[in-house]
Amino acid sequence: MEKESRKVYDYDPDRVRETLVKSFQSRGMMATTADLAGLTGLPLNQIKAELPAVVDEYNGRLKVTDSGEILYSFPLGMKSRYKGLGPALKKLWKSTKKGAVAAFKLGFKIWIMLMLVGYFVIFIVLLLVAMAISMGGSIGGGSSDRRDSRGSHSGGGMGIGGIYLTSRLFDSFIRLWFYSELFRQPQPQRAGYGRPYGSPYDSEAALSRAKPRKPLYKSIYSFVFGDGDPNAHWDEIEKKSVLAFLQSHKGIITMPEFIAITGLKPDEAEHAINRYLLEFEGSPEVTDNGVIYYSFPNLLTRVNKTPEVEGSTIALKKLGRFSSNEPKLNKIFNWINVFNLAFGGYYLYNAFAVGNAFYSVTVDGIALRGGLSYLYSTTAYLLKSFGVANPASGIAWGLGLVPLVFSVLFWIIPAVRGGRLKVQNESIKFENLRRIVTRKVASAKTWFKPKEVQVSIEEAKPADPNAVDRIAEELAAWSNAEVSEDGYLFKEIILTQDEAEKLRAKTDLERFAPGKTVFDTDAQNY
């Protein structure tokens, strides 16, 4: 007899689940535990142990018959969420897409940082070099600044002084931008002052208010791509909230309460709770009045108790921010991009309008084009002096088209992201509002009036003025509530919550107490 008992509990879960799936298929996707026992010959404890996994994998639903029996139903058929070619390909595509997107973002972030700062530095340097050449007369044979009748700047070849000046300017800007900003460690800055915290003039109170200063490259990332998903760990937060509710409410939860915690739509919540039943050894139960509730008795054997307030507090999702940068810093990035856009357009226009005809040879030396084309002519002459055969083509691509395209992308990406962020935040607000409204519905003992719901929390205030009505209608359709001009009467939800309170009142937590310690591995025997 002892040998047979061990066999009942020692079984292959995969084989049992496969047998249950075949049984549901033969029974028209609907059966009770008794039906399954008769079809499969499996022990009831094995059926009850593996049913939650089958329900979760195949999107099962629970129904209650008029006799109070739980009926397991699979309206979508026995299509696995985790096995088969479709889920495997979907998982592969998701992981591949995630890796590709991460690699693209990393490369694109590096490119944007180098382009924004790099082109800004290059354009500044070229502008200063042109000014230095214009003032110093480093082109041509003479030392004076001469212009011909066409307004061209006369001068000779590129002198040693000009080359030296260019190299020194590049070196200075590289040190200024890259070494002092791009790769510096975050340092707290004193508000309104240039010196860092930690000087003898700063008080301890001021030090406590110090804000870490982000390196420039992180600030650029924040402007273009944002700072990531503020709800990246929401699954963990939600799970802890559900468990805290269960452990502070005697291991019993109803579907309205589950919706109020998760913020899911009713049909989505019915699927989601299956995962909790599987992971935490819960089970769907039915009261004498035919009300479904979910019991998790194995979560009650604890040394410490969960405070009631912790289990009754609703966690809300955070709204996404466009950027964590100060508005002033984002304005600086915008002005730098305007600067790059203007200079890129200038160089591209002159590459087509002037081309390689940027200078002429006169008896006095080289005459560069003057006026608005002087900067272009100086740049083209410098490139030609360094051995570039076709300066106009190089300028058109390197200093014209590329920075123009970059500048447009630099604005398009944040603009698109800002639009998507607005939509996502509205979705988060609506989901948070569903949590609040569902909780109010679950606690209502009479007619629920949407007009009386006042929400002051910004994270739960969608732009839609009829959001509360939409959520109430959603719950009313799911629970067959009575509808009138004034509001809704959720009879089924009221009955469900009353039954749950009665069950909790009858539950004696002393039965789940771990008891006194009878053996301690740390005990010392002398």
Spatial distance between the Cα atoms of 149 and 367, rounded to a whole number of angstroms: 11
Residue 199 has pLDDT above 80, yes or no: no
| Most confidently modeled range among 27-36, 87-96, 280-289 | 280-289
Q: Which residues of 159-176 are buried (b: 16+ CB within 10 A; e: fewer)?
A: beebeebbeebeeebeee
Per residue in 208-224, pLDDT (tens digit) is 455 566 777 778 888 88
Please state whether beta strands 30-31 and 70-73 pair in parallel, antiparallel, or not at all (unpaired).
antiparallel
Per-residue pLDDT reduced to its tens digit, 202-211: 455 544 455 5
Higher pLDDT: 62 or 170? It is: 62
d(CA 320, CA 231): 8
pLDDT at 369 over 80: yes
Instruction: Give the per-residue pLDDT at 70.
Output: 76
Q: Helical H runs in 249-390? A: 255-262, 266-279, 308-312, 327-353, 374-385
What's the CA gap between 252 and 239, in Å, rounded?
A: 15
Q: Mean pLDDT across the chain, nearest whole number?
A: 79
Helix (H) or strand (E) holding 467: helix 467-479
**Cβ pair 279, 286 in contact under 8 A:** no
Say what the pTM is. Answer: 0.69
Are residues 337 and 120 in contact, defined by beta-carbon separation less than 8 angstroms?
no
Specify the range with the lowest mean pLDDT, choosing from 34-48, 321-335, 396-410, 497-511: 34-48
Residues 85, 239: Cα–Cα separation, whole Å: 30
3-class secondary-structure state, position 319? coil
| pLDDT value of position 168 | 57
Cα separation, 464 vs 521, in Å, equals: 61
Q: Which residues contact 496 (CB under 8 A, 6 or more apart)?
A: 254, 255, 256, 291, 292, 293
Q: What mean pLDDT do residues 487-492 have?
A: 94
Residue with tokens 């006169």: 362
Write out pLDDT tens, residues 406-463: 899 889 989 999 999 999 999 999 999 999 999 999 999 999 999 999 998 999 999 9
pLDDT of residue 57 exceeding 50? yes
Is 289 strand, coil or helix?
Answer: coil
Q: Torsion angle, CA of 481/482/487/493, rounded to 10 degrees?
A: -30
Share of the chain above pLDDT 90, in %: 32
**Distance, CA of 63 to CA of 422 (rounded, Å):** 39
Highest mean pLDDT among 8-17, 168-177, 390-399: 390-399
What pLDDT score does 78 carry? 74
pLDDT given at position 262: 95
Q: Is the pLDDT score of 367 beyond 90?
A: no
| Token pair belonging to 229 | 């998903």
